[in-house]
Amino acid sequence: MLPVTADLLLRNVASPTGRRADIAVTGGVVRHVGAAVRADETIDCSRFTCLPGAVDMHVHMRGGVQADKEDWRSGTVSAVAGGVTLVVDQPNTVPPITTPDRLRARIREAGEQAVCGFAINAGVLPDADLTGMWKAGAMAFGETFAAPSSYGEGLDLESLRALFARIHTLGGLATVHAEEVCGTAPETLAEHDRARPGEGEARAVGRVGELAPVGMRLHFCHLSTAASVRAARGSVEVTPHHLFLSYEDFDPDNTLARVNPPLRDEATRRALWSCWDAIDVIASDHAPHTLAEKSVPFRSAPSGIPGIETMVPLLMAAVYRGRISLLSVIEKTSWRPSEILGLPRAGFEPGDRADYALYPDELTRIDASRLHTKCGWSPFEGSEAVFPEEVIVGGVRVYAHGDLLEARPRFCPGKGYLLQ
Ligand code: NCD
């Protein structure tokens, strides 16, 4: 009889290259590939497409005084139900994360409630204690608002230059929300698009790139046009909503589709797909607001839409329809974000993090009433999607067939943490 050598054995896993193998996991890490071992638990993957767990490097988990929109529990259950096993939270909380004490409190809140891996970014404001937060475990800096957002004014270019210099000295990654805003109080989605135009976004991306010291780690959040992708001197993130939705899909004053950067017109959306190969990361910018908050006149509605649970399912539908390759989805949702953040990657080789999501063959449609986000709505209602049946975090099955089985919170600090 074979000795018990693994916690978990994934049998008949097809890698993106088509090779089938058994993957043995111990202590949350892949130990053997292709070797027949006995394990405490075995999952037969032969009828699934097995993806490494996604790393969503742009989410707003809310919580604290905003827990009616979302909290760490509902937000991370939504994550795993969509095949995301590690989330990177943005610091525009109320109050914002600008001090080591606030960062530590945020880590505690997440540690008590999250069901998967998590990291927390540091807020970038002139009076923020960047060094203190870096040492307290911040994963990255930002999103840095180089434009006004739902939560306040953007930074001017000189402040941004000075903050970049400080972040570069620390060896940190700066993540930036770059836009130009030239109109206020739009009444419709088309006016919102014109008030934060695509050309302005591309110009802002170019300007921000010029401010960064040579060799600095720079990442552009949620670029919404092909011109912005071309203008970026740094890694490029794009959201599912800018790829799959245009404002023409909605009634002109539909507040649910209001988001920054705005949804663009159909031609711009299609042109963004032409840059698919140049996109480093797909991230959701999961930014839930309650239906009550969105049920106001367009001009005063908050910007932001939920998307963590539908991100990989929408992309998997595009894979099944033959529009994009499975490997490109793995790279943009898991491997590239891990590389940019300096995290060990999830995957199929010895030493890889044992985070996976198992997708069935069938396409289904998004039904917001079945999603796990607290906000209870989705702009992707009715879209084709493939949801994972089972999700594994750190070698442990945490989610199966719509039910959470176990919570596996794990704090992932940034590189500055080691200095303490
Ligand atoms: C973000 C949010 O709600 O936190 N909203 C959004 O439309 N992306 C903040 C922001 O980026 O404006």
Domain locations in the chain?
5-50+347-407, 54-341
* Amino acid sitting at position 365: R
Report the sign of the C-alpha dihedral through residues 65, 68, 73, 78, in that order: negative
Q: How far is it, in rounded angstroms, from Cα 110 to Cα 122?
A: 15
For the Cβ of 150 lying below 6 angstroms from any atom of ligand 1, the answer is yes
Q: Is 60 annotated as a binding residue?
A: yes
For the Cβ of 303 lying below 6 angstroms from any atom of ligand 1, the answer is yes
Helix H or strand E encompassing 10? strand 4-14
Report the sign of the C-alpha dihedral through residues 262, 121, 176, 126, in that order: positive
| 407 C-alpha to ligand 1 centroid (Å) | 28
Q: What is the pLDDT of residue 15?
A: 82
Please classify residue 188 by burial: count the beta carbons closer than 10 Å to its beta carbon, then call 0-12 exposed, 13-18 middle and 19+ buried. middle
Q: Is 242 annotated as a binding residue?
A: no
Looking from the CA of residue 92, the nearest atom of ligand 1 is 4
CB 103 within 8 A of CB 137: yes
For the Cβ of 290 lying below 6 angstroms from any atom of ligand 1, the answer is no
For the Cβ of 378 lying below 6 angstroms from any atom of ligand 1, the answer is no
For the Cβ of 60 lying below 6 angstroms from any atom of ligand 1, the answer is yes
- The CATH code of the domain at 54-341 is 3.20.20.140
Strand positions, DSSP E, 210-254: 217-220, 235-238
For the Cβ of 149 lying below 6 angstroms from any atom of ligand 1, the answer is yes
Name the residue of 66, 121, 151 to mutate for ligand 1: max ligand atoms within 8 A of Cβ: 151
HSE, side-chain direction, 13 A CA sphere, residue 358: 23
Q: How far is it, in rounded angstroms, from Cα 78 to Cα 366?
A: 13
Name the residue of 60, 97, 237 to mutate for ligand 1: max ligand atoms within 8 A of Cβ: 60
Q: Is 191 annotated as a binding residue?
A: no
* Nearest in space to 91 (alpha carbons), one of 140, 55, 163, 148: 140
DSSP-derived pairing of the beta strands 117-120 and 84-89: parallel
The owner of tokens 């009634």 is 251
Q: Is 106 annotated as a binding residue?
A: no
Instruction: Please give the torsion angle defined by the CA atoms of residues 12, 17, 23 and 27, in that order, rounded to the nearest 10 degrees.
Output: -150
For the Cβ of 259 lying below 6 angstroms from any atom of ligand 1, the answer is yes
Domain 5-50+347-407 -> CATH class: mainly beta
* Nearest in space to 221 (alpha carbons), one of 411, 91, 410: 91
Asked if 285 is an active-site residue, the reply is yes
Name the residue of 92, 124, 263, 375 to mutate for ligand 1: max ligand atoms within 8 A of Cβ: 92
Q: What is the pLDDT of residue 1?
A: 46
Q: Do domains 5-50+347-407 and 54-341 have the same CATH topology?
A: no
Q: How far is it, in rounded angstroms, from Cα 420 to Cα 415?
A: 11
CB 365 within 8 A of CB 383: yes
pLDDT by position in tens, the chain (length 420) = 445 589 999 999 998 878 899 999 999 999 999 877 899 999 999 999 999 999 999 999 999 999 999 999 999 999 999 999 999 999 999 999 999 999 999 999 999 999 999 999 999 999 999 999 999 999 999 999 988 787 778 999 999 999 999 999 999 999 999 999 997 899 999 999 999 999 999 999 999 999 999 999 999 999 999 999 999 999 999 999 999 999 999 999 999 999 999 999 999 999 999 999 999 999 999 999 999 999 999 999 999 999 999 999 999 999 999 999 999 999 999 999 999 999 999 999 999 999 999 999 999 999 999 999 999 999 999 999 999 999 999 999 999 999 999 999 999 999 999 755
Helix H or strand E encompassing 282? strand 281-282
Measured in residues, the chain has a length of 420
| 115 C-alpha to ligand 1 centroid (Å) | 24
Q: What is the pLDDT of residue 147?
A: 80
Q: Which residue in 22, 56, 285, 355 is the catalytic one?
A: 285
